[in-house]
Structure 1
Amino acid sequence: MAREDLLGSGLAQVAAQGTVRAVRRDLLIPAAWQPRRSFDRAGLLALARSIRAEGVRQNLLVRPHPQRSGHYEIIAGERRWRAADPGVAAQLGLSEEEQATLGGEVSASLPCLILNIDDVDARRLSAVENLQRENLDPVDEASYRLLLVQDALGLQVREGTSLSRLAQEVGRRLHALRNAPDSARDEVETLRRLFGQLGTLSWESFATNHLPLLQLPDELLGAVRDGKMAGRSALLIHRQDDEVLRAELLKRALGGAPLKELTRVVDLHQGQAWRGLAADVRGRLGVRQLDRLDPRRRERVVALLRRLQRELDTQGETAADPHL
């Protein structure tokens, strides 16, 4: 993935310039639109130890905060900002032994590259910088790709829109483009170019397999973020309406069951479900039961039975015809 290609020559030049100076940590504020809120405990602890031993070795990217005078919004580097917190031990719930490994004090100021850029460029720069990282979980990766898609298509969303809601709105647009690509050829070409630069994934696959991750309930989203289950397993669980089945799948997934095993459980359950349904309906179709129905309900039931009879007859004919 070429950083300069994704940023464009103008933003790449701006990102390489700016003013470098130390900024007090309490004047730095994570961006409200920043999707990354998952930070691996072990990785954050290791970084906290490194910062206390050697200081922060890479500048944070920030801009003057658009609402709070004298403060700065973090574009990239929130993980370093968190690890440099004097109270990181309490935030991570460190044991006394772990606290003893943290070492010395941490500086009250962090080195920052201060840029003057607008909201759109800030989101794009943040997404590109974070996608360069190797320790992103699938949810965070999908989140940053979502920001780039939003920027590429020029989609405007209301301030304060949740990540889940943004994923829904962008998802609807991507599915519309996939179903009718000739209706907006420029947008389709923009998406192809963007994902060609990102590599390894088409925009169609992103819409189908990655955007839905951002709409998972917190329990499943957290499990994917923490690496306790694969994204596809979480999506399979989320699609099930039966609470008992969902609980069984969740238990198996958290125990390390692969997607193939979970799929077998779903298939088995669905087979049992239709057998149980057929037995229940069969038990309700006696003459006495039908006689007890009022005329209108009996008429509807008989109509459904006729449809079922035609369907079964059709299935029988299909199975018997060697040419079909």
Structure 2
Amino acid sequence: MTRSPKKSRGLGRGLSALMSDVAVEDSSNTKPRRPDMMVPVEQVRPNPDQPRRTFAEDTLQELAASVSEKGIIQPLIVRQAPGNPDMFEIVAGERRWRAAQIAQLHEIPVLLREYNDTEVLEVAIIENIQRADLNPIDEAAGYRLLMDRFGHTQEQLAMALGKSRSHIANLMRLLGLPEEVQQYLVSGALSAGHARALIGNDRAATLAREAIQRKLSVRDVEKLVKKGPALKRRPIPGTPVPKNADTIQIENELSATLGMKVTIDHKDGEDGGKMTIGYRSLDQLDDLLRALSGN
């Protein structure tokens, strides 16, 4: 059963209050906070509305090895599970809970908080934004969700998260790029600097592919954007030019007629070209010579 969210709590102050809890989650410079209690690992369950759905297996195994050796240094943030007073629901720290199970820990340290459903989601988003391995698109989407869902401004986010307003604004602009370009950012094939140069360009996807294929620098991409669509016809060095359908059909017809592999190299806009006939034996070559001589 979903609890109704609390009335407005003053966005700036409320966000800072939430951050005071989440900030200790992954900060190496902060002294670990003492847990409120130790609870059996089986009495803790994940948040069903957790925005993060995937956990990399390799990093999870590394964390489990660390937990097995040193224990859980930073407590999980939990709340009492709605409708079940004997269970606790994770607000932040699901990776540590999963790692604890792999390490076969019986109890885990927790900080118990009285968060409503809206605040739980808010904290989960903030925790995801703080991940060191977060790609630019997921980070920008997190900022957008905090602004659209909870009414936070860029200034409030910048102050609470310790980011510059320009950093947040520049990342959020990336969400206006075509889906294909955003996927290049997610996979790491393209950097945020490359992508920013393509914002607002109607050829963004084409230029992104060219930047990846040619391993262009950010400055090179900026030059491509300035030069305009004429570059669209310029072949990429080392990249074969695709043949048109007519040329492929002629190749197939000649190959079928002669019984040999025929290849035609013809450049668009030119009258001449080159045709190559491959033979598999001297007998095939004799047959071809007789055919060409009319005998």
Q: TM-score, normalised by structure 2?
A: 0.52
Q: Which has the larger radius of gyration?
A: 2
Provide Cα deviations, 1:108-140, integer angstroms capped at 9, x if missing partner: 553332322112322333344555555544334
Are residues 1:28 and 2:45 paired? Answer: yes
Quote the residue 1:195 is aligned against. Answer: 158
| Pairwise CA RMSD | 4.5
The equivalent position to 2:229 in structure 1, one of 263, 270, 282, is 270
* Percent of residue pairs bearing the same amino acid type: 28
Post-superposition offset of 1:107: 1.9
Distance 1:26 1:216 in 2: 43
Post-superposition offset of 1:269: 5.8
Q: For the structure 1 residues 29 and 233, does the alpha-carbon distance in structure 2 shift closer, same or farther, using more than 3 Å as the test? A: same
Distance 1:258 1:67 in 2: 55
Q: For the structure 1 residues 241 and 133, does the alpha-carbon distance in structure 2 shift closer, same or farther, using more than 3 Å as the test? A: closer
Which fold has the larger relative contact order, with Cα–Cα distance below 8 Å and residues 6 or more apart in sequence? 1
Q: Secondary structure at the match of 1:122?
A: helix
Quote the residue 2:68 is aligned against. Answer: 52
Q: Which ranges in structure 1 are unaligned for 5 or more consecutive residues? A: 87-104, 155-189, 276-324
Q: Secondary structure at the match of 1:58?
A: coil
Quote the residue 1:230 is aligned against. Answer: 191
Aligned length: 212
Q: For the structure 1 residues 28 and 201, does the alpha-carbon distance in structure 2 shift closer, same or farther, using more than 3 Å as the test? A: same
Post-superposition offset of 1:60: 1.3
Contact 2:44-2:90 within 8 A present in 1 as well:
no
Post-superposition offset of 1:151: 5.7
Contact 2:224-2:231 within 8 A present in 1 as well:
no
AA aligned opposite 1:110:
I
Contact 1:237-1:249 within 8 A present in 2 as well:
no
Distance 2:184 2:113 in 1: 36
Distance 2:154 2:100 in 1: 38
Question: What is the 5 A alignment of 1:1-324?
Answer: 7-8=15-16, 20-24=37-41, 27-34=44-51, 36=52, 43-66=59-82, 72-86=88-102, 105-107=103-105, 109-131=107-129, 134-150=132-148, 153=151, 191-202=154-165, 206-207=168-169, 209-214=170-175, 220-221=181-182, 223-225=184-186, 227-234=188-195, 236=198, 240-241=202-203, 245-252=207-214, 255=215, 257-268=216-227, 270-272=229-231
Q: TM-score, normalised by structure 1?
A: 0.48
Q: Which ranges in structure 2 are unaligned for 5 or more consecutive residues? A: 1-11, 25-32, 235-295
Distance 1:25 1:232 in 2: 45
Q: Secondary structure at the match of 1:48?
A: helix
